[in-house]
Amino acid sequence: MRVLVVEDHPKLRSLVTRALRSEGYAVDERGDGVEGLHMLTEVEYDAVVLDLMLPGMDGLQVLKEARVRDVWAPVLVLTARDSVPDRVQGLDAGADDYLVKPFAMAELLGRVRALVRRGGAVRPHRLEVGPLVLDPATRSTTVGDERVDLSPREFALLEYLMRRAGKVVSRTELLDHVWDDAYDGVSNVVDVYVKYLRDKIDRRHGLDLLHTVRGVGYRLGPETEPRPGRSRP
């Protein structure tokens, strides 16, 4: 899941970004409203954490302009203004949720998880594909009754694939949503992490859920019949 954080206070922006990344989110961060709006219109985000008091363009303007441009990523507004009229103004501008400063980081993470579940189509609280179960709220993965220990990045990759179970997902789409614009590593990182998941899920538990679609990407789900061009690395 890819999240945009737009907050002009460097220390708070860094804390929020680190907390989200520790949960496995791919995070882009900006400290200016104009830059934040540009990122919103250029990248498809699963959630946005947006401060209202921003240089260049304030958060309300960013929200209104994003909605005018048909950008519907769910937005959590951060603000020191806690009056009812201020909250109503933010919600009317297009915010999906509101968090008043100062806040507990655990609450912010919980609200982001809720936004990701609500964003786009209705998303179940638990994801299940055959015996494989992933719970975003508890950050847990199981096959049957056995826990599968995943790194934050492995968890994020599996969650994205499970939310699109049965569909072919390209490597580019996975890079866009599971990694972020700070990534500057090996070009085959998606293939490497899919192999990690295969080792921990398919091979360890005798399953056949992670499939490579040659020249396109990956599909997660039970194999129904042989597909032309499908292979496993």
Q: Could you tell me which residues are beta bridge partners of residue 135?
A: 140
Tokens representing 109 are: 């993470």
Question: What are the tens digits of pLDDT across the range 55-69?
Answer: 999 999 999 899 888
Q: Is 231 or 168 the better-scoring residue by pLDDT?
A: 168
State residue 233's pLDDT score. Answer: 47
Q: pTM of the full predicted structure?
A: 0.66
Give the DSSP H or E segment for 53: none
So what's the architecture of 127-231 in CATH?
Answer: Orthogonal Bundle (1.10)
- Neighbouring C-beta atoms of residue 136, cutoff 10 Å: 23
pLDDT for residue 228 is more than 50: no
Question: What are the tens digits of pLDDT across the range 139-166?
Answer: 899 999 899 999 989 999 999 999 899 9
The CATH superfamily of 2-118 is Response regulator (3.40.50.2300)
Mean pLDDT for 170-177 is: 88
State residue 110's pLDDT score. Answer: 93
Domains of the chain, by residue range, sit at 2-118, 127-231
Q: Could you tell me which residues are beta bridge partners of residue 142?
A: 133, 147
